[in-house]
């Protein structure tokens, strides 16, 4: 009792394998894993379904009041609920990927999501992945990791992921989508993707999942051991 809860922030570009490392780490440490990108994806799904225009501030503000996002932790596939509906698969389509960067650049959307993310990290030990976790959401996180990988490797991983789920996409479409998201995510006005000064860079282009996990565990040993 009384010990401060631990926050591990993992940021980086799209399709760098952040969630995979974050999830494995959370499982190993028995922390709660929070995929903040899934939250922006759920908002995007809601906006698409309800035809919320991104220049309609009033409609956005009202919509945000009706959006309630929950995570069901510790299942093998982390479930995300949008107003009690399981949208875990619905938020992973190319259609959502094509719109999510624009939606997540909207100031009111970010304010609402950051608030929820900060709440999630208040009482429990968590591993959260995203773009601005170490810079804006938890600037005092206990450990910050900035993940990166070569654009070609990222596109290959994403393509394999989408086609395995039966999505009909070409490698070129995936490559373009990643470049487009990188550009918007890192140039937007509201908390753009950037490496926190005290973040440790993990380039996983040539590392498998086990090696990445081992690397992060070593960092935790060095930095967080009592």
Which run of H or of E encompasses 32?
strand 32-35
CB closer to ligand DC out of 40 and 146: 40
| Closest distance of CB 100 from ligand DC, Å | 4
CB closer to ligand DC out of 72 and 218: 72
Query: Residue 53 in contact with residue 59, Cβ under 8 Å?
Result: yes
Instruction: Compute the distance between CA of residue 63 and CA of residue 47 in angstroms, rounded to an integer.
Output: 8
Smallest CA-to-CA distance from 129 within 6, 5, 208, 38 is with 38
Instruction: Compute the distance between CA of residue 82 and CA of residue 89 in angstroms, rounded to an integer.
Output: 12
| Closest distance of CB 189 from ligand DC, Å | 12
Cβ neighbour number for residue 49 with a 10 Å cutoff: 10
Query: Residue 184 in contact with residue 106, Cβ under 8 Å?
Result: no
CB closer to ligand DC out of 40 and 159: 40
| Closest distance of CB 76 from ligand DC, Å | 18
| Closest distance of CB 14 from ligand DC, Å | 4
Q: Could you tell me the two tokens for 119?
A: 């709440």
Instruction: Compute the distance between CA of residue 191 and CA of residue 124 in angstroms, rounded to an integer.
Output: 24
CB closer to ligand DC out of 144 and 181: 181
| Closest distance of CB 17 from ligand DC, Å | 11
| Closest distance of CB 221 from ligand DC, Å | 26
Which run of H or of E encompasses 194?
none
CB closer to ligand DC out of 201 and 218: 201
Q: Residue 168 — φ and ψ, nearest 5°?
A: -90, 85
Q: Three-class SS of residue 146?
A: strand
What are the residues binding ligand DC (CB under 6 A)?
14, 36-37, 40-41, 100-101, 104, 130-133, 181, 185
CB closer to ligand DC out of 178 and 216: 178
DSSP one-letter code for 132: S
């Amino acid at each position: 009792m009384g010990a401060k809860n631990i926050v591990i922030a993992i940021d980086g570009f799209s399709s760098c394998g952040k969630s995979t490392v974050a999830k494995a780490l959370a499982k190993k440490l028995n922390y709660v894993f929070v995929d903040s990108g899934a939250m922006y994806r759920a908002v995007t799904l809601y906006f698409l379904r309800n035809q919320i225009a991104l220049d309609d501030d009033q409609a956005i503000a009202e919509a945000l009041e009706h959006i309630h996002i929950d995570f069901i932790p510790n299942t093998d596939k982390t479930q995300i609920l949008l107003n009690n509906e399981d949208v875990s698969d619905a938020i992973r389509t190319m259609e959502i990927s094509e719109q999510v960067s624009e939606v997540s650049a909207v100031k009111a959307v970010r304010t609402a999501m950051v608030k929820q993310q900060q709440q999630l990290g208040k009482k429990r030990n968590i591993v959260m992945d995203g773009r601005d976790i170490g810079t804006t959401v938890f600037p005092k996180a206990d450990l910050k990791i900035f993940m990166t990988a070569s654009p070609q490797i990222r596109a290959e991983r994403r393509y394999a992921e989408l086609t395995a789920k039966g999505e009909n996409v070409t490698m070129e479409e995936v490559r373009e989508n990643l470049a487009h998201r990188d550009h918007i995510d890192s140039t937007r006005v509201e908390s753009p993707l950037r490496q926190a000064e005290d973040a440790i860079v993990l380039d996983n282009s040539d590392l498998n999942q086990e090696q990445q996990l081992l690397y992060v565990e070593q960092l935790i040993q060095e930095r967080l051991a009592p």
